[in-house]
Structure 1
Amino acid sequence: MDFKFRYGPWALVAGASEGTGASFARQLAARGLNLILVARRVEPLTALSRQIETDYGVDCMAASIDLTQFDAADKLAAIAGDREVGLLVLNAGADATGARFLDTELVNWEALVMRNVMTVMRACYRFGGPMRDRKRGGILLCGSGACYAGFPGIATYAGTKAFDLIFGEALWGELQPHGVDVLNLIMGRTDTPAHREIMARQGLALPPDCASADDVATLGIERLPHGPVCNWGLDDSDAGFAGISAADRRRRIAQIAQLAFSGKDTIDE
């Protein structure tokens, strides 16, 4: 199926002002998709939107939305309006707190959970339904290797990413029979402005093995039809740091889905 037909005509990219989000935006525009770009900081978002329109000749709109707010998903749906969003990229979600669980105010963790759990779930509900009705579309959840274990120092962040992983796998099992692709793109250390800022606050240098934002976005787009999981730096059949390979996770979820559906739907591995 043609990429633009399968995932277009519009893509909504949350967390698009810089880093991997901006890379996703440029690469999707290069494939002919119109874009709705969302982030909190309006200035870089607007500049990126104008540059994309100039460089790629697609329609591109920018919206400043705080994804930690209770009504964030409602605002995403409102800004999309009657545009047909065929691809939802949920890229926002870094932990900028830099503190252990008990060493900062609870409100900071509540905001992180709202953005990485509640807004993710609500946005998938808002945009996934029309995709299922059209029998095409895609949802790309940008995750972290922290989802595979309890990491001291980033307890809440790791917990939210673990939710996203399991939620995304189950969503893949439910939507894949209807032509909608879902991918958890599990990223490792990536060279982004946000990551550089966090490392600088801790007095640490950026590790030399960081992935580039462009390479990570390229992988996510390439692997989108082959969900539910893609681990950065690992082959599909390689368990590595994940403990179980993406291929084995895919087979397991497919088997669970077949049992759950009891023959009412089928799913391809």
Structure 2
Amino acid sequence: MDYQAKFGPYALVAGASTTVGEQFARQLAAKGMNVVLVARRLPLLEKIAGEIREAYGVDARPVAMDLTADDAVDQLAAAVADLEIGILVVNANIHKVGLFHSMDRATKVRMLRMNTELPMLLTDHFGGMMVERGRGAVIYVNVLNSLSPIDIDGIFQGTKAFLRVFAESLWLEYRRHGVQVSTVLVNGIEGSESYEKKLSPTSRVVAKVIGGSMKPERIVASALRQFEKGKWVCVPDYPIPVNQLAVWSLDSFRAIGGTSAAKVSSGIFGMLLDGDEVQATKK
């Protein structure tokens, strides 16, 4: 697939400094896309951008900013006003585990804004321009357990459930205008903060053995293969069989039929959360 010809010359990755977001920037660059990398840490972004330019000969622009700021989207729009953004990857999110009443209000509001308001406003600006041009793509990085709540993750999973339904609605709407919308539903991400800090060493081994976790390079490569086929929902090829059952269910019955399979898969990963942390949230 000629990505630039189909979608436009630049891909913008919001949340591009680590794991899945970084891999989207690198792998889209490998497919010929120029990339804009957006996150808070400028030195890290500059390092990644430099490596991308050297490896693939494309334009790679770091944009350092706090995406939770009130005017974040306006700032970002101004920073890339001279570029045609053909692919928008929304990976930025905040994930804090805890029972609803054990979490302070400021954290709840910050998570809500980053995980729901930011994707909506990014889509409003960049997606709207894609619709006007009649080409482009929006990729939302989401989680498999947006289909399946557990009792210590209600705020995060609630925001991700909103994002999943929002993305599906846009898929129905935008396809009439030549704009592709895809949602990537990930499970365990090796090397991520949630994986390294919220799972005990033993649980990380168990997650890897049963196939409930995968390296970000493989997650993104699998997601892009499905994206290239026009899939509206992309579940990376984790070895665990119920993940693939979730894919079949989602493709066949949309989100309704996929719920049971997703509960099994995300439930396995959820049960591996460090017991000390889980107990602490329930006190």
Other-structure match for 2:47: 47
* In 1, Cα distance between equivalents of 2:71 and 2:252: 36
Q: Which residue of 240, 244, 247 maps to 2:245?
A: 240
- Superposed CA deviations along residues 146-204 of structure 1, whole A, max 9, x for unmatched, are 2102221110100011001000001011111211100011111111332344326x676
Letter in 2 for 1:228: W
* In 2, Cα distance between equivalents of 1:144 and 1:28: 21
Structure-1-length-normalised TM-score:
0.84
Q: Does 1:227 align with 2:234?
A: no
1:106 positional shift: 1.0
Label 1:54 to 1:242 Cα distance change in 2 as closer, same or farther (>3 A).
Answer: closer
Q: Does 1:11 align with 2:16?
A: no
* In 2, Cα distance between equivalents of 1:146 and 1:240: 14
- Superposed CA deviations along residues 36-87 of structure 1, whole A, max 9, x for unmatched, are 1001122211110111111111111111122222222222212211200000
Task: State the secondary structure of the residue aligned to 2:137.
Answer: strand
Other-structure match for 2:140: 141
1:232 positional shift: 3.0
Residue range with higher mean Cα deviation, 188-197 or 159-168: 188-197
Task: State the secondary structure of the residue aligned to 2:36.
Answer: strand
Task: State the secondary structure of the residue aligned to 1:109.
Answer: helix
1:242 positional shift: 7.3
Other-structure match for 2:2: 2
Task: State the secondary structure of the residue aligned to 2:58.
Answer: coil
1:112 positional shift: 0.8
Label 1:204 to 1:152 Cα distance change in 2 as closer, same or farther (>3 A).
Answer: farther
Other-structure match for 1:29: 29
Other-structure match for 2:125: 126
Letter in 2 for 1:45: L
Task: State the secondary structure of the residue aligned to 2:142.
Answer: strand
Residues 249 and 255 in structure 2, CA contact (< 8 A), matched pair in contact too: no
**What 5-or-longer segments of structure 1 have no aligned partner?**
253-269
Map 1:1-269 onto structure 2 (within 5 A): 2-95=2-95, 97-199=96-198, 205-206=203-204, 207-208=207-208, 209=211, 210-225=213-228, 226-233=230-237, 240-241=245-246, 244-249=249-254
* In 1, Cα distance between equivalents of 2:233 and 2:57: 32
* In 2, Cα distance between equivalents of 1:217 and 1:167: 21
Letter in 2 for 1:195: S
How many residue pairs get aligned? The number is: 249
* In 2, Cα distance between equivalents of 1:151 and 1:250: 18
Other-structure match for 1:255: none
1:213 positional shift: 0.4
Letter in 1 for 2:183: N
4+ residue runs of structure 1 moved beyond 6 angstroms? none
1:25 positional shift: 0.8
Label 1:234 to 1:198 Cα distance change in 2 as closer, same or farther (>3 A).
Answer: closer
Task: State the secondary structure of the residue aligned to 1:128.
Answer: helix
1:104 positional shift: 2.2
* In 2, Cα distance between equivalents of 1:217 and 1:230: 10
Residue range with higher mean Cα deviation, 189-198 or 84-93: 189-198
Label 1:250 to 1:4 Cα distance change in 2 as closer, same or farther (>3 A).
Answer: farther
Decide which structure has greater helix share: 2
